[in-house]
A and B are shown apart, each in its own frame.
Chain A
């Protein structure tokens, strides 16, 4: 699976949009981009995923560049409860479905 690069930490003011970038320049045509987050002492929580089109759900939006080499997760109105480590993962959907985690981005939402 392709490697991803994320900033180690980011701050965001409560109520503002949080934009978390991810670089996946070696992504293959059959690899999807997934975002998960992990709140302290809990298991990871799925947020959103996409292949090449932008996606939106009740939690977030995912913007994937046209060349698919990078993406941005957008939390439109961050709250204190969004403070967590956010993981961007690219993964093929055949074979063993293994999900390999990188270091992620630690997002601090401040009041």
Chain B
């Protein structure tokens, strides 16, 4: 079946650095991908919609200059957390809708980001 691969699975870095997370659709093309953030014991919160060949659409309250999204090809979207700080530490998850009108989302395994 369709698979979404996310990399890295875990990253630890110092405050002030930028971190890039990749999301790939492995056996299907995705013109749209989604990025979520999840804090401990909470549900997933949609951050933004990544659109191939155009600008991402951000949900209300998400800083687009802080969370840069690039969807350069039909199989790859990247999320860059710029100048990361400890409060950006979270579990980041991407997803892509499968082919077809009613088909479900496929999710990556997530990236656990820890900022020291």
Contact = CB atoms under 8 A, between A and B. Distances in A.
A interface, over-half SS: loop
Nearest to A104: B43
Interface residues of A, number: 25
Contact of B43 (A41, A42, A102): A102
B67 interface: no
Contacts of A34: 104
B52 interface: no
B43 A51 contact: no
Interface in B71-116: 91, 93, 95, 97, 101-102, 104-110, 112
B interface, over-half SS: strand
Interface in A29-48: 32, 34, 36, 38, 41-46
Contacts of A100: 46
A97 B97 contact: yes
Interface of B: 4, 6, 32, 34, 36, 43-46, 49, 57, 91, 93, 95, 97, 101-102, 104-110, 112
A103 to B, nearest CB: 5
Q: Which of A42, A44, A100, A104 has the most CB of B within 10 A?
A: A44
A62 to B, nearest CB: 12
Contacts of B107: 36, 43-46
8 closest A-B pairs by beta carbon, nearest first, are A43-B107, A46-B104, A101-B44, A97-B97, A101-B43, A93-B101, A44-B107, A93-B102
Given A96-B57, A104-B43, A51 B102 contact: yes
B46 A43 contact: no
Contacts of B46: 98-101
Given A96-B49, A101-B43, A44 B102 contact: no
A24 to B, nearest CB: 16
A43 B109 contact: yes
B43 A99 contact: no
